[in-house]
């Protein structure tokens, strides 16, 4: 039994199809990533979009995103980032989210694994937070399937990535999530976006990863600075263990 996951993050799309973020036309690189996934990983089981989907946080942008996902939608799950409007996400993707008023989380079981998405959106803030009630929900989800290896997605990384300006806008109150992951041996992987770069670390025995954006990349300098690396995404093959790798957009994908 195994399950194949693709993670796409920080698309920063605009309602304007020509919209540009720090010199990068975000729809063009996102479409390039989708085409590359279709070419190279068409057998994926789930496509997880881990936030910062709409730079302008406009309803129309989410509608265009839904259109772009097309018939992949039933294989998609979404969590919000700081650059997202939770109400618009709920309006445009009603089948993907819990009822009104609840955080935009998901939990699914596939290939013997449990895959969970957390909502770290904090209104008006760049940093994130996972509230106590949501941690209780996570605790209950983990308790339902204590024997299932688990992958947890959250937009804001729960550990410092050692890039000063990004760590200042990380996950507030991360210690509670870290403690829960540390006390839950079935959590094998925690994976985030937000920092627009590849990073790997750990919480106890759990691996922690971050993933490049589908548009602009940040460098590892202490102040905000861009990296010319190509757009990227991450794949996971989950079976007896987990295998993961980052893929970058082929140069041809830019044309």
Q: What is the contact surface with Fe ion in residues (CB under 5 A)?
A: 10, 52, 81-82, 194
- Tell me whether residue 149 or residue 157 sits nearer to Fe ion (CB atom): 157
- Tell me whether residue 213 or residue 244 sits nearer to Fe ion (CB atom): 213
Asked if 218 and 224 touch (Cβ cutoff 8 Å), the reply is: yes
* CA distances (Å), origin 155, targets 51, 111, 241: 6, 24, 23
Residue nearest to Fe ion (CB): 52
Asked if 133 and 152 touch (Cβ cutoff 8 Å), the reply is: no
As a whole number of angstroms, the longest Cα–Cα distance in the chain is 48
- Tell me whether residue 117 or residue 149 sits nearer to Fe ion (CB atom): 117
Whole-number minimum distance, CB 216 to Fe ion, in Å? 8
Asked if 51 and 81 touch (Cβ cutoff 8 Å), the reply is: yes
Angle between helices 132-144 and 174-182 (to 10 degrees): 10
Whole-number minimum distance, CB 197 to Fe ion, in Å? 11
- Tell me whether residue 10 or residue 57 sits nearer to Fe ion (CB atom): 10
């Amino acid at each position: 039994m195994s399950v194949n996951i693709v993670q796409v993050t920080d698309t920063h799309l605009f309602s304007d199809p020509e919209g540009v973020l720090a010199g990068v036309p975000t729809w063009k690189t996102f479409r390039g990533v989708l085409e590359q996934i279709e070419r190279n990983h068409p057998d994926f089981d789930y496509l997880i979009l881990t936030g910062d989907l709409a730079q302008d946080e406009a309803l129309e942008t989410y509608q265009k995103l839904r259109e772009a996902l097309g018939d992949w939608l039933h294989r998609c799950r979404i969590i919000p980032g700081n650059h997202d409007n939770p109400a618009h996400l709920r309006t445009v993707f009603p089948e993907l989210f819990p009822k009104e008023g609840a955080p935009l989380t998901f939990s699914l079981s596939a290939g013997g694994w449990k895959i969970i998405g957390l909502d770290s959106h904090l209104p008006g803030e760049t940093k994130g937070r996972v509230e106590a009630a949501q941690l209780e929900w996570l605790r209950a989800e983990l308790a339902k399937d204590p024997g299932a290896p688990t992958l947890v997605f959250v937009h804001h990384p729960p550990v410092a990535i050692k890039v000063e300006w990004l760590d200042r806008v990380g996950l507030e109150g991360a210690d509670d999530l870290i403690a829960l992951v540390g006390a839950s041996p079935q959590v094998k992987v925690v994976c985030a976006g937000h920092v627009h770069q590849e990073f790997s670390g750990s919480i106890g025995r759990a691996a922690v990863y971050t993933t490049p954006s589908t548009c602009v990349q940040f460098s590892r300098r202490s102040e905000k600075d861009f990296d010319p690396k190509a757009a990227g995404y991450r794949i996971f093959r989950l079976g007896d263990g987990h295998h993961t790798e980052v893929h970058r957009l082929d140069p041809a994908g830019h044309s």
